[in-house]
Each structure stands twice: as structure tokens, then as C-alpha cells.
């Protein structure tokens, strides 16, 4: 069931509370009366009834019925249709949650359509009622107060995002090594910043449109002054959101670069280890060559001596006069010859 809560004001002072649409139309017969009607989770029949009673444009009513609209401001004759996307930040989950408020602003009424429990517009209404002079300026003053409250609520959101971005920068440059999972955190936070940017980017243009049409639609000076103040706030928020997005995009690039550098360094360390192993293998091979060469050189005299050391009576050159010198020269010659061959092949 649709929850309806309304107020009727005359010269900025509360004169009647409302709980149905029929009472609003009757109350507006009073001279100078202005109604604020709040609808929470309205049913289709309730919106159709409000459209008939207050002459709301069918396209605006259709948008309010469907929901999930972007922030925008549209004029249909003497009635404005405004969509606002207030946000709040869940620091634990690093997530921006959004509400959606639709406002119909006519010459003597403001209808707010809210789905879900947030945002609570009661605080805005109470703040307005505390300023009867400003409230007495009419529906545009009420719209200005709603815009101001929505924009003020954006400051904690961007502050929470900036705090998490600072944490990411500390992780990137804290000298504790690169966490591969940090890229996922950066990317998810960047998604939230982009979503928040989409919700807030139209606001400066909306405020500029209201200020440009101020003279044409007879907007009072005080309302214009407050609209300018709200516009300044929206510009500052938009700039901070743009900066946050740029920082996260740069952080994602830096993280990728640092991961690549770390991987390259690891590859260099692995290559250095492989090179040292290869050098050691080569050195071992050289040592084996040297040992094998000297073993061959020393084996040759042993072979000759072994042959002539056999105790057989019938052996060639056994009783030869030059046999002993010949054997010595043969041993020496073979050893020197092998040494020369190994030296030529760089084994020694």
C-alpha cells in the first residue's frame, strides 16, 4: 500500500497535514497555499490519480512508474520533472549504494516519489519548516532545498572513496611488495567511482538550466542565490569524482607496470641462476678435459712399461742393445705428442 505523507503551507507556515491526495486538492483551494506531498513506493493507481489531480505529464509519470532513471531535469509546461540519484557509501564493502527520488514541481505543489527506505526526506522538510521565510518563496525554494540536501549527502561518499584510494596508494608505494590481488580491488573501486560519476555528472547542468530560466520563470533572488551555492557544490563534487577516477586509472596502470617489473626481475634472477649453472657446467667440463688429458699422457708410459715388463723369454728386442733407451724415448715421445695434441685442442 502506498504511503502518503503531505504538508500544506501558507506563507511558509504549516497549516495542515495530509494523508491522502484528495485532501491535498481541497487544501490548495486556500489562497496562497502550497502543498508538499510525499509518496513512498507508490502503486500505479496512485500515480495515475496524482497525474489526473495535478495535471502531470504522461511521459514524466511513466518515468516515475518505471524508475531506474538517470539524473535529469525536464519541463512540461509549467511543471518540472526532476530525477535525483542520492548515494551513500558502504565503507566495509567499498560500495556506493544509490536511491532514486522523482520530483514533480508545479506552481503550487511539490510531489516527491521515493522508492525504498532511503533517502529520508523528513530531515529536508524539517529544515525547510525551520526557515518559513525561504519556504514561503514557493515550490522552487522546496526544490532548491532538496537539491542542496542531495548534494550535501554526496560529500561523505566522495570522502569515503578518496580514503580508500589513499589506502591503495599506500599499498602500491609502501615498499611491502606488490599484491597481485590489489588490481581487483582497484578495478572494483573504479567501477563504483564511475557509477557515482554517472549519478552526479548531470547535476551541474541541471543547476545551470534552473539558473538560466530564473528570469523567464520568475525565480526569486534568494532562490537564485541558493541555487548558485548548490551549483558550486556540485562542481566541486564533480571535480573530486573526476580526480578520483583518474587516480584509480593511474593506479591500475602503475600496478600493472610494477607487476611486470617484478616479473622481469624474477626472470632475470632465474636467467642469472641458469647462467651460473651453465658456467659451472662448462668449468666442470674443462676440468674433466684436463684430467682426462693428463690421464692419457700418464697412461702411455705405463702402457709401454707394462709391455716390456712382461717376463717372457721370447720377446722382440728383448736382448737388443738399444732396447732400454728406445723404450724410454718411446714413452717420452708419446707423452709429449699427446700433450701437444691436447694443447692444440685447448684441453690443457
The three-state DSSP-derived secondary structure of the chain is CCEEEEEEEECCEEEEEECCHHHHHHHCCCCCEEEEEEEECCCHHHHHHHHHHHCCCHHHHHHHHHCCCCCEEEEECCEEEEEECCEEEECCCCEEEECCEEEEECCCEEEEEECCCCCCCHHHHHHHHCCHHHHCCCHHHHHHHHHHHHHHHHHHHHHHHHHHHHHHHHHHHCCCCCCCCHHHHHHHHHHHHHHHHHHHCHHHHHHHHHHHCCCCCCCCHHHHHHHHHHHHHHHHHHHHHHHHHHHHHHHHHHHHHHHHHHHHHHHHHHHHHHHHHHHHHHHHHHHHHHHHHHHHHHHHHHHHHHHHCCCCCCCCCCCCCCHHHHHHHHHHHHHHHHHHHHHHCCCC
Give 302-345 pLDDT, tens digit per residue: 766 666 665 555 566 666 666 667 666 767 776 777 777 767 77
Give 73-126 pLDDT, tens digit per residue: 999 988 999 999 888 888 888 889 888 899 999 988 999 998 777 777 888 888
Locus of grid cell 684436463: 290
- Integer Cα distance of 93 and 135 in angstroms: 39
Q: Is 75 exposed, middle or buried (0-12, 13-18, 19+ CB in 10 A)?
A: middle
What kind of fold does domain 285-344 have according to CATH? Methane Monooxygenase Hydroxylase; Chain G, domain 1 (1.20.58)
35 touches 46 (CB < 8 A): no
Domain boundaries, the chain: 3-263, 285-344
- pTM, two decimal places: 0.70
pLDDT tens sequence for the chain (348 residues) = 567 888 889 888 888 888 888 777 777 888 888 989 888 888 888 888 888 888 899 999 998 888 778 889 999 988 999 999 888 888 888 889 888 899 999 988 999 998 777 777 888 888 888 888 998 888 999 999 989 988 888 889 999 999 998 888 888 776 665 667 788 888 889 999 999 999 888 999 989 888 888 777 777 888 889 999 999 999 999 999 999 999 888 888 887 777 776 666 667 776 666 667 666 776 776 766 676 766 666 666 676 666 666 555 556 666 666 666 766 676 777 677 777 776 777 666
**CATH assignment, 3-263:** 3.30.460.20
Amino acid at each position: 500500500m502506498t504511503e502518503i505523507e503531505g504538508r500544506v503551507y501558507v506563507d511558509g507556515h504549516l497549516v495542515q497535514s495530509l494523508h491522502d491526495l484528495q485532501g491535498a486538492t481541497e487544501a490548495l483551494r486556500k489562497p496562497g497555499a502550497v502543498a508538499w506531498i510525499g509518496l513512498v513506493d507508490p502503486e500505479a493507481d496512485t500515480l495515475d490519480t496524482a497525474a489526473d489531480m495535478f495535471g502531470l505529464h504522461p511521459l514524466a509519470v511513466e518515468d516515475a512508474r518505471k524508475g531506474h532513471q538517470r539524473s535529469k531535469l525536464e519541463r512540461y509546461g509549467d511543471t518540472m520533472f526532476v530525477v535525483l540519484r542520492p548515494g551513500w557509501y558502504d565503507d566495509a564493502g567499498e560500495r556506493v549504494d544509490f536511491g532514486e527520488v522523482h520530483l514533480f514541481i508545479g506552481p503550487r505543489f511539490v510531489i516527491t516519489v521515493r522508492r525504498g527506505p532511503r533517502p529520508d526526506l523528513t530531515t529536508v522538510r524539517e529544515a525547510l519548516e525551520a526557515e518559513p521565510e525561504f519556504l514561503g518563496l514557493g515550490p522552487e525554494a522546496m526544490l532548491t532545498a532538496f537539491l542542496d540536501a542531495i548534494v550535501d549527502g554526496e560529500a561523505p561518499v566522495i570522502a569515503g572513496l578518496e580514503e580508500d584510494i589513499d589506502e591503495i596508494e599506500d599499498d602500491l608505494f609502501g615498499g611491502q611488495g606488490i599484491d597481485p590481488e590489489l588490481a581487483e580491488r582497484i578495478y572494483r573501486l573504479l567501477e563504483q567511482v564511475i557509477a557515482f560519476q554517472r549519478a552526479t555528472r548531470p547535476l551541474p547542468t541541471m543547476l545551470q538550466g534552473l539558473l538560466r530560466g530564473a528570469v523567464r520563470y520568475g525565480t526569486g533572488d534568494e532562490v537564485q542565490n541558493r541555487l548558485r551555492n548548490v551549483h558550486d557544490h556540485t562542481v566541486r563534487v564533480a571535480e573530486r569524482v573526476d580526480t578520483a577516477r583518474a587516480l584509480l586509472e593511474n593506479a591500475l596502470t602503475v600496478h600493472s607496470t610494477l607487476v611486470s617489473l617484478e616479473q622481469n626481475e624474477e626472470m632475470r634472477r632465474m636467467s642469472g641462476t641458469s647462467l651460473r649453472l651453465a658456467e659451472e657446467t662448462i668449468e666442470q667440463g674443462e676440468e674433466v678435459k684436463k684430467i682426462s688429458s693428463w690421464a692419457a699422457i700418464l697412461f702411455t708410459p705405463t702402457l709401454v712399461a707394462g709391455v716390456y715388463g712382461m717376463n717372457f723369454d721370447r720377446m722382440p728386442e728383448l736382448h737388443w742393445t738399444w732396447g732400454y733407451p728406445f723404450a724410454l724415448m718411446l714413452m717420452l715421445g708419446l707423452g709429449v705428442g699427446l700433450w701437444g695434441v691436447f694443447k692444440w685442442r685447448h684441453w690443457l
